[in-house]
Amino acid sequence: MPRRRQAWGAWNYIGDGEDEGLCLTYWMNRLQSIDGAYPLFETLNPHREPCADLVHASFNYAHPVFDTAAIAGQRQLPSIQGSGKLFYAGAWTGHGFHEDGLKSAIAIARSLGVEIPWKTNVAAYPAIPPLAQVDEREIA
């Protein structure tokens, strides 16, 4: 974090202009309204390892890789949504953002005839009949 506490932001980065990569630190107290008596930070791609006694836990994460095969699969998703009463939702259905996961869930809900309680331009999947049009014997 910057030496001056007034310069701390919810997201703080260090970039030195070389190929070392971007170091990003989240100030979790500000992001999650966590009690400020215990400063809590999450750092991605640290340029140097933090003091071991300050580390609560360490994790390795991976994000979806949107290669040619993944994008081709995304394009086929509308044709299989609802097949066998199975629906697919998640960040991977879009660009990998949390919002994409929500958008995919809204599309499924609308496809099933569910009214969304807020304004959004997310459309239903066109190939799925609304729940009201599904034969009750198919649901059992």
Is the pLDDT score of 135 beyond 60? no
Is the pLDDT score of 45 beyond 90? no
Identity of residue 72: A
Three-class SS state of 3: coil
Q: Are 5 and 30 in contact (CB under 8 A)?
A: no
Three-class SS state of 139: helix
Tens of pLDDT, residues 3-18: 898 988 899 988 766 6
Instruction: Compute the mean pLDDT over every residue in the chain, rounded to the nearest whole number.
Output: 83
pTM: 0.53
Q: Read off the tokens for 36.
A: 């400020």
Alpha helices, H only, the chain: 28-32, 68-80, 98-111, 136-139
Tens of pLDDT, residues 59-74: 887 777 888 998 899 9
Sequence spans of domains, the chain = 5-54, 68-139
Average of pLDDT values for 10-37? Answer: 84
Instruction: Give the whole-number percent of the chain exceeding pLDDT 70.
Output: 85
Q: Are 44 and 87 in contact (CB under 8 A)?
A: no
